[in-house]
Chains A and B, each alone.
Chain A
Amino acid sequence: MRFFLRRTAFYLFTAWAAITINFFLPRMMKGDPVSAYLAKNQGKVSPEAAASLRTLFGLDEDRSLFQQYLDYWGLMLHGDLGRSFSKGLAPVGDVIAVALPWTLGLVGIATILSFFLGSSIGAVVGWRRGSAADAVVPVATFMSTVPYFWMGLIAIAVFSSALGWFPASHAYSKGASPEWSWEFAWDVVQHGTLPALTIVVASLGGWVLGMRNMLITVLDEDYVTVAQAKGLSPRRVLSGYASRNAVLPQLSSFALSLGFIVGGTLVMELVFSYPGVGKLLLDATNAKDYPLMQGLFLVITLSVLVANILADVAHAALDPRTRMTEA
Chain B
Amino acid sequence: MNTDPLLTVTDFSVVYDVDPPVEAVSDVSFTLHRGEILGLAGESGCGKTSLAYGVQRLLRPPAVIPSGHAVFHDESGEDVDIAALSESEMRRFRWDKASMVFQGAMNALNPVTKIGKQLGDVFETHRPGMSRAERTRECGELLDLVGVGRERLRSYPHELSGGMRQRVMIAMALALKPQLMIMDEPTTALDVLVQREILQQISELRTQFGFSVIFITHDLPLLLEISDRIAVMRQGRIVELDTAWNIYHHAQHEYTRTLLGSFPSLTGERGGFVRGRGDDVSAGAGAAGGGVR
Contacts and interface: CB of A to CB of B under 8 A. Distances in A.
Touch A–B, Cβ below 8 Å: yes
A227 B112 contact: no
A321 B156 contact: yes
B283 interface: no
Nearest to B100: A229
Contacts of A232: 91, 121, 125
Interface residues on B, range: 20 to 34
A245 B61 contact: no
B125 A324 contact: no
A324 B158 contact: yes
Contacts of A43: none
Contacts of B112: 244-245, 248, 318-321
B111 interface: yes
Contact of B125 (A221, A231, A244, A248): A231
A320 B104 CA distance: 21
Nearest to B107: A222
Interface of B: 56, 58, 61, 90-96, 99-100, 102-104, 106-113, 121-122, 125-126, 156, 158-159, 172
Interface in A279-327: 318-321, 324
What is the interface of chain B mostly: helix, strand, loop, or mixed?
Answer: loop
What is the interface of chain A mostly: helix, strand, loop, or mixed?
Answer: helix
Contact of B92 (A223, A231, A241, A324): A231
Contact of A321 (B94, B104, B158): B158
Interface residues on A, range: 20 to 34
B122 A230 contact: yes
Given A226-B108, A229-B100, A231-B95, A240 B121 contact: yes
Contacts of B103: 222
10 contacts: A222-B104, A223-B111, A226-B100, A229-B95, A229-B102, A230-B95, A231-B122, A241-B113, A244-B113, A245-B110
Interface string A113-145: 000000000000000001000000000000000
A228 B112 CA distance: 17
A221 B90 CA distance: 21
